[in-house]
Structure 1
Amino acid sequence: MTTYLAFLRAINLGAKRVFPKDDIRTAVESAGFDNAATHINTGNVRFDTRLRSRAKIEEALERAFLADRGFEVPTIAFSVAEFAAVAAEGAALDAAHPGLARHYVYFVKEPLDEAQVAAVEGMASTHGQMVIRDRAVHALLTPGYQDGVVDPLRAAKLLGVTTSRAMTVVTALAAKWC
């Protein structure tokens, strides 16, 4: 059995896309995964599986979520080892960039191609920069960026299917589940 973490996109944002964490656990286990656990009500779930293919894991979860909720829930999965590496890279970036106002991590479904990498990295400004590490894209935001703006560098549209978490959440999940 391998432990995975999955991140659900665009849930609990309004009255029509509600997916409480207890229902997420139930749906994950109904899809055949074991030991499902959630962290806060924003679509973070840990589970065990015998499946080895990330794509098959994501497909099984997305089918289960659609059947349970009646709407699509894009899902991005990482093995515990992959996620631990994302958290470690985030900590190293924080150490290398003291004084950040915010640090968000965008989890992408597929690695970016060269053109996407160039475009995303080209969005750097006085407000911050994007640092790409495989399927994790770190938004390093400097003091003075527009607080409260979800995508101040306007790079998310270049990432494909994605969901983001604050680095504080990434750190908490790594401490809890890795």
Structure 2
Amino acid sequence: MTTYLAFLRAINLGAKRKFPKDDIVAAVEGLGWTDVRTHINTGNVRFDCPLRSRAKVEAALEQAFAERAGFEVPTIVLTPAELREVAERAEAFGHDGAHYVSFLKQEPSPEVVRRVEELSSAEAVAKVGGRAVHLMLDTAYHQTRLGNATVEKHLGVATNRNLTVVRTLVEKWC
């Protein structure tokens, strides 16, 4: 069995995208996967499963979530080691302002990384490392032009967590 961490995109936003933790757990357990745990109601899930392919894990979860929730739930899967690496990279940046991480389905090409990082400004800096984009902000998240929507425009499906959640998940699950 391999342990994975799944990050669900765009759930529990507004009235039409409700997907409670208990339903998430039921969907994952319905796949026959074990040791399922969640953290807060924003789509953070830890589980063990026999699959070795991240793409197959994501596809199975997305199908199970769509059937259970009644809408598509893009899902990004990391190993505990990958999440730990994301947190370590964040610490190395040493940013004192708001810090968010957008997790990506695919690792971007160097050219796309360059384009995204060039969007940085004095108030908002993007640094890409593997399948994670670190957004370090000196302004409010909802006031910056360099947020998850911009990341998705250039890098495809992504889901965003603040660094506090990332650190907590590393402590709990890694």
Task: Decide: shared fold, TM above 0.5.
Answer: yes
User: Counterpart in 2 of 1:47?
Assistant: 47
Are residues 1:128 and 2:124 paired? Answer: yes
Between the two proteins, what is the percent identity of the paired residues?
Answer: 53
What is the alpha-carbon distance in structure 1 between the residues aligned to residue 73 and residue 126 of structure 2?
25
What is the letter of the counterpart of residue 142 of structure 2? V
For residues 1-178 of structure 1, the aligned pairs below 5 Å read: 1-94=1-94, 97=95, 100-142=96-138, 145=139, 147-149=140-142, 151-153=144-146, 155-156=150-151, 157-178=153-174
Pair 1:57–1:93, CA change in 2 (3 A):
same
Contact 2:124-2:144 within 8 A present in 1 as well: no
What is the alpha-carbon distance in structure 2 between the residues aligned to residue 58 and residue 126 of structure 1?
36
What is the letter of the counterpart of residue 8 of structure 1? L
What is the letter of the counterpart of residue 138 of structure 1? H
Pair 1:158–1:81, CA change in 2 (3 A):
same
Q: Secondary structure at the match of 2:142?
A: coil
C-alpha RMSD of matched pairs (Å): 1.3
Q: How many residues align?
A: 171
Shift of 1:90: 1.4
TM-score by length of 2: 0.93
Contact 1:127-1:153 within 8 A present in 2 as well: no
Higher alpha-carbon deviation: 76-85 or 150-159: 150-159
Pair 1:41–1:150, CA change in 2 (3 A):
farther
Unaligned runs of 5+ in 2: none
Could you list the structure 1 runs, at least 4 aligned residues long, displaced by more than 4 angstroms after superposition: none
Q: Deviations over 1:81-127 (max 9, x none)?
A: 11111111112223xx3xx3200000000011122111101101111
Q: Secondary structure at the match of 1:5?
A: strand
What is the alpha-carbon distance in structure 1 between the residues aligned to residue 117 and residue 54 of structure 2?
26
Shift of 1:64: 0.2
Unaligned runs of 5+ in 1: none
